[in-house]
Structure formats: C-alpha cells, structure tokens
Amino acid sequence: MEQINREFKAVIQDMTHIYVGAQMSVEELMSFEDVPFKVKAVFNKFFGEEDQRGQKICVCLGNINRDDFVYQVIKQLKLKFKVGYYLEKNGKTIYKSKTLTADEYLALHSSEEKYFDEEIVFNKLALLAFST
C-alpha cells in the first residue's frame, strides 16, 4: 500500500487542467519547478502555516469542513479529486479510480470507505479567474 502512495507525487498539465499528486506534501509542492505560480500562491496562502507545510496535500484538503473559508476557495477553484479504490469482482481484486467534486470528496473523506488519494485537479480557467 505504501508503494501506491509514492506514485502520486507529480505535477502534470494539459491544455485545460493541472494535475497535482495528492500524496505530495505542501513543502514538496512548493519545491517543484513545474508547478504554476498561482497554484503555489493558493497553497502558500491557505496552507502556509508551519504545521501544515509537512502534511500531505490530501490531508490538508480532506480535513476542512463546509464552514471554513478554504471550502469556499475549493468551490471557487472548481477543484476535482481523483481517488482510487479496490473492487472485488468475480473473485478478482480490481483497482479503479474516479473523479469527485469537492462535496463528494469531503463526504468520502469523512466516511469509513477505503480509498487512495491520487490527484487534485485544478481547472485552469477557474484558476485564471481566481484572485487571492
């Protein structure tokens, strides 16, 4: 299981989205050169406290609640969360993944279901329109 966690520490971009590995810490994210400045600015502003910098990004985002201002930021940025899970089918274990909205992710994070955080997906247009 630990091997799976190590795989999701990358930053990838396409024309419309930025995919940030959820197993990366905030500090690791800040040290990556490929991360757009605005993504770094968002994480620095909302997760820049010393005790949060060493935490994994998925832990920082999963521990918020709907009353926090950070929740409004997540909704404004239209963040999506890609999670993976194991499924038993015909006696075989299959690994699947799905992309969730912020509300679905927070509900899953507070439930007892077993899943793996894979990526946080930023919409580039929403990021462009967002001002910190």
- Number of structural domains found in the chain: 1
Q: What is the pLDDT of residues 100-129, one digit of tens each?
A: 999 999 888 878 888 889 999 999 999 999
Stretch among 6-10, 88-92, 94-98 having the lowest mean pLDDT: 6-10
Predicted TM-score (pTM) of this structure: 0.84
Angle between helices 69-77 and 37-47 (to 10 degrees): 160
Residue with tokens 């490929």: 34
Length of the chain: 132
What does the pLDDT look like over 22-38, one tens digit per residue? Answer: 888 888 888 988 889 99
Q: Which residues, other chains included, contact 17 with Cβ-Cβ below 8 Å and sequence gap of 6+?
A: 121, 122, 123, 124
pLDDT at residue 132 in the model: 62
For 13, the domain range is: 2-129
Residue 84: CATH number of its domain: 3.30.465.10
Q: Is the pLDDT of residue 87 over 60?
A: yes
